[in-house]
Amino acid sequence: MKKILVIHGPNLNMLGVREPEIYGDVTLKEINEKIKMLAGEIGVEVTIKQSNHEGEIIETIHGAIGNYGAILINPAGYTHTSVALRDAVASVGIPTIEIHITNIHKREDFRHRSLLAPVAVGQISGFGINSYLLGLRAATYFLE
């Protein structure tokens, strides 16, 4: 199955406006366009979702069973707080790659710990919007 689910977590809809000195001035719409362009180039189908609601993200992950070969997720603030999101990723058995625009290990201490990392196949952080593109390329390895 050459389908990848891309999930943007809370506040990522504010990219381009939200703290541009940290996250840059690229909007979520622009990121999604780049993801779709790369997906076309490498021959995978992507579905992209964004939510500010933990339960909605969990429902999206549950709905991925049997529909996607990999998940690419930027859990944003839920990275450090959501056991429920971690459990959802663990429960579906779908290779999941955690991504972040910034290097979470160079930021505030509370951002250094990811609850998802132990159940993800990998984590990519610190490459700006290219973290998404690197993550998409990495996810394709699990589609083979």
Q: What is the sign, positive or negative, of the torsion defined by CA atoms of 79, 84, 87, 91?
A: negative
Contact 102, 19 (CB under 8 A): no
Contact 119, 143 (CB under 8 A): no
Contact 46, 1 (CB under 8 A): no
Angle, in degrees to the nearest 10, between helices 83-92 and 54-62 = 10
Active site residue 100: yes
Active site residue 68: no
Annotated active-site residue in 8, 78, 100, 132: 100
Annotated active-site residue in 8, 23, 68, 78: 23
Cβ-Cβ contacts under 8 Å for 101 (sequence gap 6 or more): 15, 23, 24, 74, 125, 127, 128, 129, 131
Q: Which residues are catalytic?
A: 23, 100
